[in-house]
Chain A
């Protein structure tokens, strides 16, 4: 390890070389170098001890335990019985499991794609147009409104959504009846053809505020002069938005997309509170499927198999994301 080499930056030269160190030797792109000159990477491991220790107890050990359970038949009471790969073969032939992953795609659309794109446009709109023309107060107020669903506990959201969507006496059906569209009245969450679409709309409603708040905060880094210059060059709003805004807040776009994708793949609360995966399997998601195997069917071994498969999928997605992000950051640094 190159822990004691001098820091590879342009600024090194402006400082007097420290005694006992080879001066002026520039190492390009030294990834294992700490940002503090002379502080070796090794000493920093101490700071990871509490975090990694707790992580091991709370997450890694249970994860290993779950992995072991995937090779067993276990109903929670008698000790687990080793059955080899039976759970895994069952999983790959299980239609419900594949349906649940298909529904995850819908969840990604509703919790990642739509909120991020819409959030980008709305954040830029609030910051750029509403904030500048009508004052920061108006923009702040609207942003707070958009964020409201994020602070609503899922159990409470489920109560209100019940009032709106329930077939008898529900607000949506009442409104439809009142404006003469009574023919469209429907058991929204109770029919297989509309349940998933309703859940998607609800998830967009829930998620939208998160990217807006993060993007609007990020937009404050944008230098107004850049915008003015672009405006003088004849760039229209959308061109400026694409070239300047998206470029500058890219780190936040990564954070939002990754965290929302993870949340979408393991979404549980809203499904549990609203539809319990039904009707049939029309809103079944992997997380709820594993929960129902764990606690309703007492098939702990199989539940653990679903949960482990889900964890692997989420981890692979996250690793691809982070590798890509790190590579982009390195490219930026070298530039």
Chain B
């Protein structure tokens, strides 16, 4: 089977392996005034989008008195770290961070696997009634989440998984894989037939074709899904809030919102919570953003 993948891979290696930021020619042609205007507009839009993030950073290092006298826009008169320290210890931040990391990572991996299995049957297996199966699976994405709360509460209570991170992991694996199935099915629908035929002639079984042909070639699409699922699950709020009631099980966004209701919260601790709550996904995104550029359908080379 190694010979099989070796035979097939090289043709499609272009663009799928080298992690360049953007596949563009390096030639810097002459720039007209119009080009500079467009760049300027693009930067201005970027600035507007970034303002709230700048505000989070500024206010996280301000003392409450400083904030009250100069408002949210001024730079801090001197650096103040108590807000961050205060938030860190008050919510036991490492614990919440760990919960969020575990939930988001397990969901991301499990949902990608589930999407791949579903899409293999739908896109490549072309099973009968596949359009309707995609619609059925997409229901997980279409149902408003608050409609799931009562029934799932009773069900998870029955099996003893209420207030357990596994309940949230199972729920989001299903919800996220709906999007993944939809996307991957259409990508696999355009999968190069010759490669599947070649593998099949070599005597590969369905399972082997999935792992040695389909999986490696769609790896970049799967990576994009993994990143989306991780970030989306990290930011989920309503279901973790309802299903993780004890303090030790809370995720980062839930811990922040619970603190919001606290009378003792000052502005600085609030902004520190915003900063610390934002940093993990930001770092995650910056590490993996190159993967995103390779594209959601990059795997299905035409």
Contacts and interface: CB of A to CB of B under 8 A. Distances in A.
Interface of A: 1, 7, 9, 11, 15, 31-39, 41-48, 50-52, 54-55, 57-63, 65-66, 76, 122, 125-127, 129-140, 142-157, 159-161, 163-164, 169-171, 174-175, 205, 208-209, 213-214, 216-218, 220-221, 224, 251-252, 255, 258-259, 262, 266, 268-269, 272-273, 286-287, 290-291, 294-295, 300, 303-304, 307-308, 310-311, 314-315, 318-319, 322-323, 325-326, 329
A294 B149 contact: yes
Contacts of A45: 121, 125, 127
Contacts of A38: 200
Given A125-B38, A153-B234, A216-B293, A315 B206 contact: no
Contacts of B237: 153-155, 269
Of all A-B residue pairs in the complex, the 10 with the closest CB atoms, nearest first, are: A44-B125, A217-B295, A136-B22, A62-B151, A307-B147, A44-B121, A47-B121, A145-B46, A314-B142, A160-B52
Contacts of B123: 35
Contacts of B43: 142
Contacts of B271: 159
A51 B144 contact: no
Contacts of A307: 143-144, 146-147
A134 B231 CA distance: 30
Given A41-B125, A171-B55, A315-B135, A51 B252 contact: no
B22 A39 contact: no
B151 A66 contact: yes
Given A32-B126, A37-B197, A140-B22, A311 B147 contact: yes
Contacts of A318: 135, 138, 142
A160 B175 CA distance: 28
A237 to B, nearest CB: 10
Contact of B278 (A32, A44, A135, A152): A152
A34 B130 CA distance: 11
Interface in B97-150: 114, 117-118, 120-128, 131, 133-150
B150 A294 contact: yes
Contact of A32 (B118, B128, B148, B188): B128
Nearest to B50: A145
Given A36-B196, A142-B43, A269-B238, A151 B285 contact: yes
Contacts of B160: none
Contacts, number: 360
Contacts of B139: 55, 59-60, 63, 311, 315
Given A37-B200, A54-B174, A133-B35, A220 B128 contact: no
A139, A161, A208: most-surrounded residue (chain B CB, <10 A): A139
Given A33-B126, A47-B121, A156-B273, 13 more contacts: A36-B124, A145-B50, A148-B49, A151-B235, A151-B282, A163-B55, A164-B55, A169-B71, A171-B72, A259-B179, A294-B150, A303-B146, A322-B134
A155 B146 CA distance: 17
A290 B146 contact: yes
Contacts of A129: 35, 38-39
B45 interface: yes
Interface of B: 15, 20-26, 28-29, 31, 35, 38-39, 42-43, 45-46, 49-50, 52-53, 55-56, 59, 71-73, 114, 117-118, 120-128, 131, 133-152, 155, 170-171, 173-175, 177-179, 181-183, 186, 188-189, 191, 193-194, 196-197, 199-201, 206, 209-210, 224, 231, 234-235, 237-238, 252-253, 256-257, 260, 270-271, 273-274, 277-278, 281-282, 284-286, 289, 292-298, 302
